[in-house]
Amino acid sequence: MDHDDGSYDSVSYSPAESVIIPPAPLRATSVVVHRPASSALSYASKRTGLVYDARMKYHCEPISGDDDLHPEDPRRIWFIYKELQKAGLTEHEEDSEADRQWKLLRICARLAEPSEVALAHSIDHYKWVQRIAEMTDAQRRNLVKDADSVYFHPTTPFCARLAAGGAIEATRAVMTGAVKNAIAVIRPPGHHAEHGRAAGFCFFNNVGVAAKVTRKDFPDTCRKILILDWDVHHGNGVQQIFESDPNVLYISLHVHKGGFFYPAGDYGDESHVGLGAGEGKNINIPWPRHHMHDGDYIHAFQQIVMPVAYEFNPDLVLISAGFDAADGDTLGACFVSPNGYALMTSMLLTLANGKVVACLEGGYNLNSIAVSALAVTKILMGEKPAPVAVPGPSVDAIQTVQKVIKIHSKYWKCLYPKSSSVDLESLGGERLHDILQVRQNRRYAEQHMMYPLHLPLGGSDSGVDPGSFSDQVTSTPGWRKAQPLLIIFHDPPDTIGDPHPLTGAFDPHNIVVTQPSEPYIEWAVHNKFSVIDVNVPRYLKTMEDDSSTGELSEEDRTNATRDVASAIWENFVSVSEAPDIFLIGVGGAYAGLISFLNLAGETVQQRVSHIFAFAGKHALLPVARPTDDALSLWYFNHSTVFAAREHCIFDGPRKIRKKYGRILRTDANSVIEQLLYQKEQVLARMREGVKGEEGTGGEMKTDENPPPSAGIRKLEISTPPEPRLTAGTGSSTRLGSPIKLPRMGMFGVTGSGH
Ligand SMILES: [Zn+2]
């Protein structure tokens, strides 16, 4: 049946009647789309273009029965058109001029010229496609056997040229300013068609041909094109055609499954970044599995697509808009919602002054592609995406995005973290960590005369390269003297970043470096303590691997810290006359300090006055030895472990064992806040230089929900009153507090023996 809009029901078309049909003019040909852009016409008043030509339905699988329909079904474009019609977005004859301003402007498809197709394909390939029309049915059936997932019909060459011509005309209308943007509802799809080969239901690479023609016809206004491919399959054809082209950036998000999803192999993996001048201009974001959803796609857009697109700064954006990642498509088996497509479209519209053309690729659930295409069209026309919450990205998406960023960060300034490749080092690249350490060492040297301590670490259990700690351990010159000694083990400086709102880039000017343990050192030096400062980096050069590219596992880092602590003890502390020794472990570095204490001999127990641990939410660790019960008791009596208010150790009614130390629950949750707000207590304790038994033991019990006043009443750490406590007295440390309370307060966790 011939519809009044010029479309046809697919059932009305009989393949047996097939002939090559010349491009008959449609009703919409009266629309002039080749007019030059009027400078008086503002962007907002321009309309969105629509390419739809019912004749593209002619190409169909001739032998298909009703129960075995090929997924690349002619009705695909008709379902989308019907959906747009139902939404009132298509024009009608009775529409007034005012009505039409709110509707899609119909753009006529036409047959792509051989010379246009030949910009993206070999002439041989063009001729091969043309010959399909002249073959007998038997010849075409034979051809299918050797082809890669394509079927042939007498109208195939006609429809393939019409689809490519539709993509060209949609793009041309956008470039001339006849429309602000456009959607081309075209088939057969194109993104699998390679330079000399049809594949994956595709004959001519519609988007590829349109990009080539536009670059040729608009050399001054269209220098760079972004092709964004959200079809669930990798667009191997687009990648191949533009692999060496620095002016066409191809970004594809697709299910890859390690190369076991069409088009199989490694061509769609993240390592294919482009060739020659086009290196870096091909970005594959290969999902390792199906079932990816809006949150995964939005994550990739926010982390890679948009930052890179802004940096590339295209003059035109072409979307290879397959809808086979849509919820409901069993072939793609992903869950992208219409709103997900709307969000991606609205982000892309912020590029290239809004010059965006969406060209249909795959998508095989007729309802899913219809509602998805409608969602995209509405955004193109100026609607805003619905304020619907998007789920967070899956672990697989986060890891995939990280992997891609690592590879592409060397091509794009906006992508972080930069991979510490040889290339970067040859560019004078240096880790921020190392730069900061040099700066801190210089400052400590100038302010406190602190200099690096050289540790003979060779042959240690952790396999730490001695050189890797050479700049991490610094000391005041008086470490041998008979004055209190503070040894502080801390994590590298924290960086607090404020990324660029558009590109997401972290630039040196918007990163702030914090080192909240510094005031402790200043105080100690001022109070005539010796200080040994140990920065525990998150990466180390190890004996096995001197590439220093990877981050240390927590276990390796703990072991390395333990060995460094042992070396400091054996080589420096053991020959120091310091009467009082205080150890501070901060954040992740606390684990290494505990590991050291677990090996500590009697001299450590005799000489260490107190251990302060700023654990935050880090796992609390025991100091215990099977053969030495006294060790845990000693640790309990000589430690203060600051645990975050929301630390999981306070969950449930279980008692906390003494081997975890004397735990204090702070109002603060982060290590940084703990360092800030517990400072006065820690300094007060050190000021007194107290050394001795600080409690009589007993099982620890947590106060589940103490009133604020309990924090004051049970305050444990303070300046003790006279007389000074001495070793072995067993005196209680529940003491009055003459000092000012910290802002965040402190909730005591007392031993039940008190
Ligand atoms: Zn597809």
Q: Band of the pLDDT at 724, cuts 50, 70, 90?
A: very low
Round to whole Å and give the CA distance between 573 and 566. 10
pLDDT of residue 5: 45
Residue 61, both tokens: 């699988």
Given a cut of 80, whether residue 6 has pLDDT beyond it is: no
Coil, helix or strand at residue 731 = coil
Q: Are residues 225 and 100 in the same domain?
A: yes
Q: Are residues 487 and 404 in the same domain?
A: no
Q: Band of the pLDDT at 500, cuts 50, 70, 90?
A: confident
Give the highest mean pLDDT range of 186-190, 522-526, 624-628, 724-728. 186-190
From the CA of 322, how far away is ligand 1's center (Å)?
6
User: Comparing 253-262, 538-547, 613-622, 734-743, which segment has the lowest mean pLDDT?
Assistant: 734-743
pLDDT of residue 169: 98
Helical segments of 36-153, H only = 75-86, 97-100, 114-117, 123-131, 137-146
Q: Band of the pLDDT at 499, cuts 50, 70, 90?
A: confident
Do the beta carbons of residue 184 and residue 166 sit within 8 Å? yes
Specify which residues 286 forms β-bridges with: 254
Given a cut of 60, whether residue 747 has pLDDT beyond it is: no
pLDDT of residue 740: 30
Range of the domain at 110: 10-38+49-408
From the CA of 95, how far away is ligand 1's center (Å)?
36
Q: Are residues 393 and 491 in the same domain?
A: no
Q: Cβ–Cβ contacts within 10 Å for residue 661, how many?
A: 28
From the CA of 190, how far away is ligand 1's center (Å)?
10
pLDDT of residue 377: 98
pLDDT of residue 67: 57
From the CA of 263, how far away is ligand 1's center (Å)?
9
pLDDT of residue 547: 43
Round to whole Å and give the CA distance between 718 and 711. 13
Q: Are residues 399 and 501 in the same domain?
A: no
Is residue 432 assigned to a domain? Answer: no
Span 39-60, pLDDT tens digits = 444 555 899 999 999 999 988 8
User: Comparing 333-342, 605-614, 654-663, 689-698, which segment has the lowest mean pLDDT?
Assistant: 689-698
pLDDT of residue 458: 60
pLDDT of residue 636: 94
Residue 503, both tokens: 């590109």
Given a cut of 50, whether residue 440 has pLDDT beyond it is: yes
SS3 labels along 203-256: CCCHHHHHHHHHHHHCCCCCCCEEEEECCCCCCHHHHHHHCCCCCEEEEEEEEC
Span 663-706, pLDDT tens digits = 999 999 889 899 999 999 999 888 876 444 344 333 333 333 33
Q: Are residues 198 and 69 in the same domain?
A: yes
* Domain boundary residue, one of 408, 428, 453: 408
Is residue 170 assigned to a domain? Answer: yes
Span 520-547, pLDDT tens digits = 999 999 888 999 999 888 876 544 444 4
Q: Are residues 279 and 143 in the same domain?
A: yes
Coil, helix or strand at residue 607 = helix
Q: Are residues 289 and 392 in the same domain?
A: yes
Coil, helix or strand at residue 417 = coil
* Domain boundary residue, one of 393, 408, 423: 408
Round to whole Å and give the CA distance between 351 and 439. 41
Given a cut of 90, whether residue 261 has pLDDT beyond it is: yes
Classify the complex by whether its ipTM is higher than 0.90, answering yes or no: yes
pLDDT of residue 537: 82
From the CA of 92, how far away is ligand 1's center (Å)?
32
Round to whole Å and give the CA distance between 156 and 490. 69
Given a cut of 50, whether residue 441 has pLDDT beyond it is: yes
The total number of structural domains in the chain stands at 2
- Cite the active site residues: 192
From the CA of 237, how far away is ligand 1's center (Å)?
12
One-letter amino acid at 145 equals K
Is residue 553 assigned to a domain? Answer: no
pLDDT of residue 254: 98
From the CA of 131, how far away is ligand 1's center (Å)?
26
Q: Band of the pLDDT at 513, cuts 50, 70, 90?
A: confident
From the CA of 334, how far away is ligand 1's center (Å)?
12
Q: Are residues 401 and 522 in the same domain?
A: no
Axis crossing angle, helix 338-348 with helix 366-380, rounded to the nearest 10: 30
Q: State percent of the chain over pLDDT 70.
A: 79
pLDDT of residue 24: 41
User: Comparing 300-309, 329-338, 436-445, which segment has the lowest mean pLDDT?
Assistant: 436-445
Helical segments of 643-705, H only = 671-677, 679-688
Span 351-409, pLDDT tens digits = 999 999 999 999 999 999 999 999 999 999 999 999 888 999 999 999 999 999 999 99
Read off the pLDDT of each residue in 461-477 and give the average, rounded to a whole number.
Answer: 72
pLDDT of residue 36: 36
pLDDT of residue 735: 25
From the CA of 350, how far away is ligand 1's center (Å)?
25
- Structure-model confidence comparison of residues 747 and 425, the more confident one: 425
From the CA of 363, how far away is ligand 1's center (Å)?
6
The closest alpha carbon to 179, from 377, 5, 369, 345, belongs to: 377
Q: Are residues 250 and 347 in the same domain?
A: yes
Given a cut of 80, whether residue 94 has pLDDT beyond it is: yes
Q: Are residues 272 and 364 in the same domain?
A: yes
From the CA of 361, how far away is ligand 1's center (Å)?
7
pLDDT of residue 551: 65
Span 269-315, pLDDT tens digits = 999 999 999 999 999 999 999 999 999 999 999 999 999 999 999 99
Give the highest mean pLDDT range of 2-6, 558-562, 738-742. 558-562
Provide the residue count of the chain. 754
From the CA of 293, how far away is ligand 1's center (Å)?
16
From the CA of 181, how far away is ligand 1's center (Å)?
23
- Structure-model confidence comparison of residues 668 and 116, the more confident one: 116
Is residue 69 assigned to a domain? Answer: yes
pLDDT of residue 32: 36
pLDDT of residue 520: 92
Read off the pLDDT of each residue in 622-647 and give the average, rounded to a whole number.
Answer: 91
Is residue 147 assigned to a domain? Answer: yes
CA 459 to chain centre: 39
Is residue 638 assigned to a domain? Answer: yes
* Domain boundary residue, one of 344, 378, 408: 408
- Structure-model confidence comparison of residues 527 and 740, the more confident one: 527
CATH number of the domain bearing residue 361: 3.40.800.20
From the CA of 76, how far away is ligand 1's center (Å)?
13
Q: What is the DSSP letter of 148?
A: B
Q: Band of the pLDDT at 61, cuts 50, 70, 90?
A: confident
Residue by residue, DSSP assigns 453-501 as PPP--TT-TT-B-GGGGTTTEEE-TTTTSSS-EEEEEEPPPEEEE---T
Is residue 247 assigned to a domain? Answer: yes
Q: Are residues 502 and 383 in the same domain?
A: no
From the CA of 327, how far away is ligand 1's center (Å)?
14
Is residue 738 assigned to a domain? Answer: yes
pLDDT of residue 143: 87
pLDDT of residue 629: 84
Phi-psi bin for 396: left (phi > 0), alpha (psi -120 to 50), beta?
alpha
Q: What is the DSSP letter of 733?
A: -
Given a cut of 50, whether residue 512 has pLDDT beyond it is: yes
From the CA of 233, how far away is ligand 1's center (Å)?
4
Q: Are residues 363 and 498 in the same domain?
A: no
Look over the chain and give the mean of its residue pLDDT values, rounded to a whole number.
82
> What residues have CB less than 8 Å from 466, skipping those under 6 apart?
455, 456, 457, 458
pLDDT of residue 656: 85
From the CA of 1, how far away is ligand 1's center (Å)?
30
Residues whose Cβ atom is located within 5 A of ion ligand 1? 231, 233, 322, 324, 362
pLDDT of residue 461: 63
pLDDT of residue 459: 55
Instruction: Return the exposure string of 218-235: e unless at least 16 CB atoms fall within 10 Å of the residue's CB, then b.
Output: beeebebbbbbbbbbbbb
From the CA of 262, how far away is ligand 1's center (Å)?
8
Round to whole Å and give the CA distance between 179 and 620. 63
